[in-house]
Amino acid sequence: MSDRPAFDREAFARTAYVTLVTNRDYVCGAVALLRSLRRTETEADLVVLATPGVEEADLELLRPFGARIGRCERLPTSQAFNERHERGRLHQAAPFTKGGKPVFHTPLDNFVKLRLWQLVEYEKVVFIDADAIVLRNCDKLFGYPEFCAAPNVYETLSDFHRLNSGVFTASPSEATYKAMLEWLDRPEAFWRRTDQTFLETFFPDWHGLPVFCNTLQYVWFNMPELWSWRDIRILHFQYEKPWEDGHAKSRQLRPLIDLWQAFFTGTGIPEDIGSLPGPAEAFKAAGQQDR
Domain containing 180 — which CATH number? 3.90.550.10
CA atoms lying within 13 Å on the CB side of residue 43 = 11
Q: What CA–CA distance (Å, rounded) separates 140 from 148? A: 12
Q: pLDDT tens digits for 31-65?
A: 999 999 999 999 999 999 999 989 999 999 999 99
Domain, as residue range, for 171: 9-216
Cα 254 from Cα 244, distance rounded (Å):
12
How far is Cα 115 from Cα 245, in angstroms, rounded to an integer?
32
**Three-state SS for 175?**
helix
Give the whole-angstrom CA distance, residue 149 versus residue 143.
13
Predicted local distance difference test score (pLDDT) of residue 158: 85
In a domain, 274, yes or no: no
* Chain Cα centroid distance, residue 86: 22
- The span from the CA of 289 to the CA of 286, in Å, is 9
Q: How many domains does the chain have?
A: 1
- Condensed to tens digits (0 to 9), the pLDDT of residues 146-162 reads 999 999 999 988 888 89
Q: Is residue 134 part of a domain?
A: yes
Which has the closest alpha carbon to 65: 101, 99, 39, 93?
A: 39
- Quote the CA–CA distance of 87 and 93 in Å, as a whole number: 10
The answer to whether position 85 is within a domain reads yes
What average pLDDT does the segment 184-201 reach?
A: 94
pLDDT of residue 98: 59
